[in-house]
Amino acid sequence: MIRPLVILPDPVLRQVSEPVERVDDDLRKLADDMLETMYDAPGIGLAAIQIGIPRRMLVIDLSRDDEPNDPHVFINPEIVATGEQPNVHEEGCLSIPDYYAEVERPASVTVRYIDRDGERQEIAADGMMATCLQHEIDHLNGVLFIDHLSRLKRDMVVRKFRKLAVRDKDKAPPTRMVG
């Protein structure tokens, strides 16, 4: 099921997500919904908080359009090591549509997590996977990629999305009261 995305400036995006305590069929269904939502958007990564669920889970698929899907589910991911070499990559975010900026992050990371079968795993990632993991884990901590930009750039983006949110709210049809 495709879920609605939470869009800036919604304060939900600033919540710190809670650890997942049990991997069960409901959690696997949530992972499937997250993947379906991410593919539909389209994106390459999605944290549960981006669909309004403050749980420490994210999904990533870096496959290209001409390749078969290669979904990854990360439950309770934790960065346990970062490389010393920096990398700058242009990032975007499904919760901040149509805005992109260059962000500097470590070029490599090691992440411990639980997979969709409840097994403990560890991944050493570099390149796009390292960037994506850091971006999505930031979401779980209430951090957005714009927080890595200068205060001036970040404030401009937030102001823009606040104006859009007000404008969209004004366009919304009136709700009916039943009484």
Every domain of the chain and the residues it spans: 11-170
Give the alpha-carbon dihedral of 143, 144, 150, 154, to 10 degrees.
-120
**Spatial separation of the C-alpha atoms in residues 13 and 15, rounded to whole Å:** 6
The matching CATH number, chosen from 3.40.50.2300, 3.90.45.10, 3.40.366.10, 3.40.50.300, for 11-170 is 3.90.45.10
Q: Give the active site residues.
A: 136
pLDDT of residue 12: 97
pLDDT of residue 177: 39
Task: State the number of CA atoms in the 13 A half-sphere of 14 facing the CB.
Answer: 7
Task: Lay out the sheet containing 72-82: strands in order across.
Answer: 45-47, 57-60, 72-82, 108-114, 120-126
Average pLDDT per 10 consecutive residues for the chain, totaling 179 residues:
96 98 98 98 97 98 93 98 96 96 97 98 97 98 97 94 81 45
pLDDT of residue 178: 43
Phi and psi of 22, rounded to 5°? -150, 135
**Spatial separation of the C-alpha atoms in residues 167 and 44, rounded to whole Å:** 29
pLDDT of residue 72: 98
pLDDT of residue 169: 65
